[in-house]
Amino acid sequence: MTERTPWFSAKTHGYGAGWPIAWQGWALIAAYLAVLGVVGWLDRLGFGSTRIAAFALFVSATATFLSVVAQRTRGGWKWRWGKRD
């Protein structure tokens, strides 16, 4: 099984991912922000069905974003106390 190239650095303190270390990480963040822009636009339309669609899009985009970031973080997501892995 091949090792995946990390897109994000690991945080040195706490849980989660740090800054992107590859262009793919920056592209993922840009795509996520673009989707959030669409969510905001749908929400501003103000109709009941578009607000529901905006919320559903927000939840699914955020879950996908966090899943990809967790999979592509160097060393994975775990609690860190400041020591290097």
Cβ distance 7 to 21 under 8 Å? yes
Q: Is the pLDDT of residue 85 over 70?
A: no
The answer to whether position 81 is within a domain reads no
Closest CA relative to residue 16, chosen from 73, 84, 81, 82: 73
The answer to whether position 27 is within a domain reads yes
Q: What is the pLDDT of residues 27-54, one digit of tens each?
A: 999 999 999 999 999 888 877 888 888 9
How far is the C-alpha of 58 from the C-alpha of 35, rounded, in Å? 8
pTM: 0.84
Number of domains in the chain: 1
The answer to whether position 9 is within a domain reads no
The answer to whether position 14 is within a domain reads no
Q: Is the pLDDT of residue 1 over 50?
A: no
Q: Where are the alpha helices (DSSP H) in 1-85?
A: 23-45, 48-71
Q: Which residue range is the domain that position 59 belongs to?
A: 23-73
The answer to whether position 60 is within a domain reads yes
The answer to whether position 36 is within a domain reads yes
Q: Is the pLDDT of residue 7 over 60?
A: yes
The answer to whether position 85 is within a domain reads no
